[in-house]
Amino acid sequence: MADVAFTLLIFFLVSTTLATDKGERVRLPEYKECINDECDVDVNPNNVLTIQIGEQSMLTVESKNFPMASLTDETKQFLLNNGTNPAYSDSYEKAVVKLEISEDAAYEHYLETYSRIKLAFTTIRNDAATEQFGAQYEELAELDAKSIRTQFPLKLVEQTIVN
C-alpha cells in the first residue's frame, strides 16, 4: 500500500505543471518623503504623452486610436524629439509618458502595452550605451549602467481610470 501511495505521489509531482508568473521586471525609484507639496511639479501638456487602455482594451495615444505595433516607435520619437516637432516633447528631461488604464482592461493588454513602452526606454538606453561605452546596456558594469539610467531614467506615470 505504501508503494502505491509513493508511486502516485511521484506521478502527480512529475505530471503537474505549475502556473508561471506573468510580469515585467521594474526597478522602482527610491522613496522620497514630500513635505508641503514639494513633490508637485508643473508639467507642460506638450511634454506628456498620454496613452490610454480603455474598457474594451482599446489603445489610444493622445485620444486617437493607435496600433499596438507602432507604440514603441511613437514613444521613442516622443522622448527624443528635442523640440523638433511641436506636437512632441521639448526634451527628454521634460518628457513624461502617462499610462492610463481602465479598471476593466485585460491584464494581458496592459502588460503588452507596458512592455512596449518600456522597450522604447530600453532602446534609448542601448543606443546611448553603445555610443558611450561600445556595449549594450544589459552588458555594462553596474557603475556604467547607473550612469546611463541617470541620463535616461524611466519616466512613466501610471493611473487607473475608475468607470
Q: Is residue 37 part of a domain?
A: no
Could you tell me which of 147, 96, 93 has the C-alpha nearest to residue 117? Answer: 96
The pLDDT of residue 83: 80
Q: Is residue 92 part of a domain?
A: yes
Q: Is residue 88 part of a domain?
A: yes
The pLDDT of residue 45: 83
Q: How confident is the model at residue 28 (pLDDT cuts 50, 70, 90)?
A: low
Q: How confident is the model at residue 50 (pLDDT cuts 50, 70, 90)?
A: very high
Range 22-45 average pLDDT:
72
**Residue-number span of the structural domain to which 83 is assigned:** 47-161
Average pLDDT, the chain: 87
- Contact 113/59 with Cβ under 8 angstroms? yes
Instruction: Please report how many Cα atoms fall inside a 13 Å half-sphere around the Cα of residue 33, on the Cβ side.
Output: 1
Instruction: List pLDDT tens digits, range 89-128.
Output: 889 999 999 999 998 888 889 989 999 999 999 999 999 9
Q: Is residue 123 part of a domain?
A: yes
The pLDDT of residue 134: 92
Q: How far apart are CA 63 and CA 94, in angstroms?
A: 21
Which contacts of 123-131 are long-range, i.e. CB under 8 A and separated by 24 or more positions? 123/72, 123/76, 124/76, 124/79, 124/80, 124/92, 124/152, 125/149, 125/152, 128/152
Q: Is residue 31 part of a domain?
A: no
Expressed in percent and rounded to 5, the helix, strand and coil fractions of the chain are 40, 15, 45
How many folded domains does the chain comprise? Answer: 1
Q: How far apart are CA 4 and CA 8, in angstroms?
A: 6
